[in-house]
Amino acid sequence: MPAMGLGTFGSDKYSPEQIAAAVSGAVRIGYRMLDCASVYQNEDRIGEILSGLFKDGIVKREELFITSKVWNDQHREVRKVCLQSLKDLKLEYIDLYFVHWPFPNYHAPGCDGDSRNPDSKPFSVDEFMDTWKQLEELYDEGLVKAIGMSNMTVSKLSEVLPLCRIKPAALELECHPSFQQQELFDYARSHDMVPIGFCPIGSPSRPERDRCSTDVADTELKEVVSVAGSHGIHPALVCIKWAVQRGMCTIPFSVKEAQYISNLKCTTVDPLTEEEMELLKDAERIVISDGNFPAESVGRDSIVVRLDRHGVPEVLDAVLSVFPLDSYVEHPVNLMEVMKDDPVKTPIWDTYADILAKHDARGRDMIGHIERFAFYEEAKKAYAIVVTGESALYANIMLQKGVVTC
Buried b (16+ CB within 10 A) or exposed e, 381-406: bbbbbbbbbeebbbbbbbbbbeeeee
- Is 113's pLDDT higher than 70? no
- Tell me the average pLDDT across 183-203: 93
* Range of 77-81, 278-282, 323-327 with top mean pLDDT: 77-81
Distance spanning both ends of the chain, measured CA to CA: 47
Residue scoring higher pLDDT (115 or 371) = 115
Residue ranges per structural domain of the chain: 6-282, 289-401
Residue scoring higher pLDDT (297 or 201) = 201
pLDDT band at 363 (very low <50, low <70, confident <90, very high): very low
For residue 4, the number of C-alpha atoms closer than 13 Å in the C-beta half-sphere is: 23
Least confident interval from 112-126, 270-284, 337-351: 337-351
- Is 67's pLDDT higher than 90? yes
- Tell me the average pLDDT across 191-204: 91
d(CA 339, CA 320): 13
CA–CA distance from 206 to each of 83, 102, 253, 271, 303 (Å)?
A: 30, 22, 11, 28, 24
For residue 236, the number of C-alpha atoms closer than 13 Å in the C-beta half-sphere is: 18
d(CA 210, CA 360): 9
- Is 102's pLDDT higher than 70? yes
- Is 206's pLDDT higher than 90? no
- Is 20's pLDDT higher than 70? yes
- Can you say whether the dihedral through the CA atoms of 136, 83, 144, 73 is positive or negative? negative
What pLDDT digit, counting tens, does each position of 120-177 carry? Answer: 677 789 999 999 999 999 999 999 999 999 998 888 899 999 999 999 999 999 999 9
**What's the residue count for the chain?**
406
- Is 305's pLDDT higher than 60? no
Whether residue 291 contacts residue 318, with contact meaning beta carbons closer than 8 Å, is answered with: yes
- Identify the CATH homologous superfamily for domain 6-282: NADP-dependent oxidoreductase domain (3.20.20.100)
pTM of the model: 0.74
Which H helix or E strand runs over 20? helix 16-29
Whether residue 198 contacts residue 183, with contact meaning beta carbons closer than 8 Å, is answered with: no
253 backbone dihedrals φ, ψ, rounded to 5°: -110, 135
For residue 358, the number of C-alpha atoms closer than 13 Å in the C-beta half-sphere is: 11
Residues forming the active site? 40
pLDDT band at 209 (very low <50, low <70, confident <90, very high): low
d(CA 384, CA 343): 13
DSSP codes of every residue in 234-285: -HHHHHHHHHHHHT-EE------HHHHHHHHHTTTSSPPPHHHHHHHGGG--
Query: Quick one: how far is CA 214 from the chain centroid?
Result: 19
d(CA 289, CA 20): 39
Q: Would you state the pLDDT for residue 286?
A: 55
Q: Would you state the pLDDT for residue 372?
A: 26
Residue scoring higher pLDDT (350 or 27) = 27
